[in-house]
Chain A
Amino acid sequence: MSTGFRVGVDQNPYLPLGGTEVHAVITVASQGGAGPSAGAVPAAPAAEVVIVDASGSMYGEKMAAAKRAARAAVDTLRDGVHFGIVSGTGTARMVYPPGRALVPAGERTRAEARAAIGGLEADGGTRMGTWLALASELFAPFEEGALKHAILLTDGQNNETPEHFEAVLRRCVGRFVCDCRGVGTDWQVEEMRRLSSALLGDVGIIRSPDRMAEDFRRMTARAMGKSTADVALRLWTPKLAEVRFLKQVAPSVEDLTGRGTPSGPQSRDYPLGSWGQESREYHLCVRVPTGEPGRQMRAGWVKLIAPAADAEVLASGNVLAEWTEDEARATEINPRVAHYTGQAELSRAIQDGLRARREGDAETATARLGRAVALAHEGGNEVTAELLRRVVDIVDPATGTVRLRPAVDKADEMTLDTYSTRTVRTRGRGGGAAPGTGGD
């Protein structure tokens, strides 16, 4: 039976004598919509909430663009998708519909929403916890398995105590997916990444307000393209084993290690959010007790689980371990594991480097951003390399010899920061050659 999901495991299962760390890259691919009608997105129950920052600083061009963007999002919704528009200031207020319950998209509700968006005014503070709390309330009536997606647009920093914000964020985890967009340069990338990461979304900078509508349309279309919500990765590990880490490594780096909840003896479930027609890759590292030569074991059993009601296993794969005295076999690093180890380090190096730069620590900034340049060069991260070039002068990309640029456009720095978690996938052995040179 085809569930439309596949799991692939890439690893070198051989461990040297005394070896305890098993690495694997797990590829999860979804055809988007199960069974023979694959390709056509089934009309899964779906809900969309657009949250627009209406604080005083949004006044003028930014607010005008935000209105166009919110309308673009509304126009992109499928008929029947429940939706609402929220304006966020020191409190959260319904822009449309007036009551605190989402309404199905249709000709009439879209027209009403467009009109209501016109009444948005910039005036007030920024307390994102209250915005998220309202969104969570709006999504509450939708059962598990429904697609629940929010877009949060802001231009500034959050103005509430971290304790309050974190408490709200914790309550929202797993209830809906949220993509965050920052406009201008007065917002904090790390703060928005914290939010979007916890809610399994992404963060992006909108450098010019006139790009906003297109970006909103794309985000909404992508959310509408999902067909399976609330997928989880169930990971069984042997007794006495320890999950050192589980990271999403493509299309972006996301550490999932701390997000597992126990789901049975020696087993934890890690939420993976909503899936359309796409593939994502995960780097798993399990520490196991060492074994004698020739011993073979299952170091991890990965299963993809459908939303809780039926808990159907959509696909599964084995991460194996075998001890060998053959040194060459045991020390060979699987190329995909090597690639994604580099990609995760690249993401960290950029974030560390930019933080050091902000804090005036030029030495650390130069070292970390230089390392990032070398990793981007090695990994084939062309976009990242270009973004790095706007922050540092590159003397030698291969060794990562760089000089900090004295003057850097703040938007360039923030673009690099938001982009830091994006990875590129491993290429075939043929490297950069164009497809068409087949068979080799």
Chain B
Amino acid sequence: MLTTCPACADPIGGGDDYCENCGLRLTPVPTEDPGGGRDRVEAALGPLAGVSDIGLRHRRNEDAMALLTPGARSPALVGVVCDGVSSAPRSDDAALVAAETGAAETARALREGAPAGEAAAAGMTRAAGAVAALADASGAPACTYVAACMPEGGGPVTVAWIGDSRAYWIPGAGAPGPARLLTRDDSWSAAMVEGGVLSEEEAENSLYAHAITAWLGADSGEVEGHVSTVALQGPGAVVLCTDGLWNYAPAAEDLAALLPGAERDPAAAARAAVEAALEAGGSDNVTVVVMAV
């Protein structure tokens, strides 16, 4: 333990990473993230873990995530993933505000006894308000939103979403049924496929494949999010992710293969999935949250 600053010899007070006199950094920092920012964020809270990474092509991580595990603040596991719309200004702020607000509000509503579906909807609505409030003369920051919550000790999982960030169910060893997508994108291509206008392949190769038709932001009009509660037979994991991951493996079975053992070690699975996205090109920010069921 240092007692004086190696640069200016000033005595060092406790509790701060920098010399209070000359500003020298006293503890080593990961060199990849000198701005103290969001280039790489990892969180591991037992059954809930997440990794958010800037990827290889972008200069800023406009994804964000928020995780809550049962405790004073929350009676349930709550995970939220948001993807800032890069054509809108300050969308990194939008994603962060939406994720944190959504998780906190969902937990608050659950604490007050609201049913999971209502709580998830309340979280999304409050997140929408918080993102809309970021708008000013320069424009309206915008982001996607996908959240999952599950009571402590298991039970049905409630998913809420708007935009094209996704939730998947990945069954573990011995669980019945295949991996499946739990959300439906609010995207141009999904609408085209649903309407029978284009085949899935045509839609995904279209210029507009990534255009989303709904998002959180002051310019989105009335927010019409989706909420769905599903009973899932574990062991397994619910995976929330941005398109930075699922672009490389849109089909549920393919995506499941990127997160082996997710139900046993959510943190390792989230890291493995992000690693896979980076190896495949890392063309977008990538964020993965894994909730063991």
Contacts and interface: CB of A to CB of B under 8 A. Distances in A.
A297 B23 contact: yes
Interface string A413-440: 0000000000011111111111111111
Interface stretch (B64-72, B139-147, B272-280): B139-147
Interface in B120-155: 129-130, 133-134, 136-140, 142, 144
B85 A320 contact: no
Interface in B57-78: 58-60, 62
B219 A435 contact: yes
A318 interface: yes
A435 B210 contact: no
A440 B136 contact: no
Interface string B12-29: 000000110111110001
Given A29-B134, A436-B213, A298 B25 contact: yes
Contacts of B91: 428
B108 interface: yes
Interface string A293-316: 001111101000000000000000
A1 to B, nearest CB: 12
A347 interface: no
Nearest to B209: A439
B3 interface: no
Interface in A138-152: none
Interface stretch (A56-64, A120-128, A176-184, A235-243): A235-243
A320 B215 contact: no
A251 B60 CA distance: 23
B22 A238 contact: yes
B35 A13 contact: yes
B186 to A, nearest CB: 9
B87 A13 contact: no
Interface string B79-90: 000011111111
B23 A430 contact: no
Contacts of B24: 295-297
Given A318-B36, A428-B87, A296 B136 contact: no
B93 interface: yes
B133 A436 contact: no
Given A295-B24, A298-B18, A435 B85 contact: yes
B212 interface: yes
Interface residues of A, number: 55
Given A13-B34, A36-B108, A239-B22, A436 B89 contact: no
Q: Give the interface size class of chain B.
A: 35 or more
B242 interface: yes
Contacts of A295: 24-25
A31 interface: yes
B144 A425 contact: no
Contact of B90 (A14, A278, A425): A425
B136 to A, nearest CB: 7
B266 interface: no
Contacts of B129: 39
Contacts of B244: 439
B41 interface: no
Given A296-B25, A435-B85, A438-B83, A250 B133 contact: no
A266 B62 CA distance: 34
- Binding site of B, secondary structure by majority: helix, strand, loop or mixed? loop
A227 to B, nearest CB: 12
Contacts of A318: 18, 36
Contacts of B210: 437-440
Contact of A439 (B35, B219, B284): B284
B89 A425 contact: yes
B282 interface: no
A274 interface: no
Contacts of B25: 295-298, 320
A32 interface: yes
A191 to B, nearest CB: 26
A27 B90 CA distance: 10
Interface in B29-66: 29, 34-37, 58-60, 62
B89 A426 contact: yes
Contact of A435 (B23, B136, B217): B217
Contacts of B163: 438
Contact of A438 (B37, B139, B144): B144
Interface of B: 8, 18-19, 21-25, 29, 34-37, 58-60, 62, 83-91, 93, 108, 129-130, 133-134, 136-140, 142, 144, 163-164, 187, 208, 210-213, 215, 217, 219-220, 242-244, 247, 284
8 contacts: A29-B93, A238-B22, A298-B18, A318-B36, A425-B136, A436-B87, A437-B87, A439-B212
Interface of A: 6, 8-11, 13-14, 27, 29, 31-32, 36, 38-39, 237-241, 250-251, 266, 277-279, 288, 295-299, 301, 317-318, 320-322, 335, 424-440
Given A428-B84, A438-B83, 15 more contacts: A6-B93, A9-B36, A14-B34, A32-B133, A251-B136, A251-B137, A297-B23, A298-B18, A298-B25, A430-B86, A438-B86, A438-B142, A439-B83, A439-B85, A439-B242
